[in-house]
Amino acid sequence: MTLALAIDLGGTKIEAALIDATGVIVDGSRHRTPTGEAAAAEVTVLERALAEVIEQCRAHPRWPEVTAAGIGAAGPIDVAAGTIAPINLPAARGFDIVAAVRSASGLSDVTLRLDGTCIALAESWLGAARGVRNAIVFVVSTGVGGGIVSDGRLVTGGSGNAGHLGQMLVADIDGDAAASTLEQRASGPHTVRWAQAQGWPGATGEELAAAYRDGDALAAAAVARSAHAVGVGLASAATLLDLELAVVGGGFSFVADDYPERIEEVVRAVAINGYAARLRVVRAGLGGDAPLIGAAALVHRSEVL
């Protein structure tokens, strides 16, 4: 069985693994290297971390079975050029990650896609969107981003950046014009800061989740504000793309057990067309494995790209 080298590049770490054609991560092949804040200021930190995880994968006894590599990277990206320009990694803007992976791995077949695209590919292959022909898969975490499956095929866009749900404008939905994007209203850090500005004494998303479970009114308002922004964004996406399903993952999505239900209620309330109002919202099925499985799917399921 052939294997794929799967690489996930985020704002604070790089992870890599060998994954087979059924989406199973090979035992002992998964490696993670933190990059931290240093990578935002110095691209060589990123280069070293990338080379390190690839070298660890190459040391695995099944490395000779690897035929190609898939990369899921924080965006924006440029598929044609093979470069990345992550918003939270300014030093890496213009970094030729495809060339770097080819050099470090010795593989000539290397495919780059947005991390959200990879998550959508994974969930439609083996997760909560399996068998669904029209879906949006997204994460609510430090940021908000995702990917789109339309008529059974992955939508990547002209430059590879389709699915940037977090940068959709949802301005002035509750009178706060300063926070105009979905991410500025719904992500974990932004939601915590909003709650603090209202007088909530906590400091983290985990504390906000605990306060919500305890019935704290400010925590409840903060969660409702986040879910409302996501619901407004999804209603627009569903209207434009005629989606059947929205799959939500990411650490902040667990701020409330009923977070997906809250989002779905907003979609029902604000969607103008009936077909958009029927959008179902469910939790992701693959958790933290999705980015790597999706990167491997760039190799094993290239027919859907």
Bridge-based pairing state of the strands 83-84 and 144-150: unpaired
* Cα angle value 219/290/187 (rounded, 5°): 25
2 HSE (CA, 13 A, CB side):
10
47 HSE (CA, 13 A, CB side):
13
- Alpha-helical (H) ranges within the chain are 38-41, 43-58, 97-105, 115-126, 182-186, 188-197, 205-213, 217-241, 259-270, 274-277, 290-300
Asked whether 248 and 283 are in contact (CB, 8 A), the reply is yes
Residue reference for tokens 């080298």:
5
> What are 31's strand-pairing partners?
16
Give the mean model confidence (pLDDT) for residues 176-200: 90
DSSP string over 145-168:
EEEEEETTEEE--SSS-TT-GGGS
pLDDT number for residue 305: 74
Neighbours of 62 (CB within 10 A): 15
CA 175 vs CA 131, 182, 234: distances in Å: 40, 14, 20
pLDDT number for residue 171: 67
Amino acid at 74: A
Q: What is the pLDDT of residues 271-288, one digit of tens each?
A: 999 999 999 999 999 988
pLDDT band at 38 (very low <50, low <70, confident <90, very high): confident
Neighbours of 287 (CB within 10 A): 10
Structural domains of the chain in order of their starting residue, each with its CATH number: 3-114+288-304 (3.30.420.40), 128-284 (3.30.420.40)
Q: What is the pLDDT of residues 218-237, one digit of tens each?
A: 999 999 999 999 999 999 99
pLDDT at 93 over 80: yes
Give the mean model confidence (pLDDT) for residues 229-247: 97
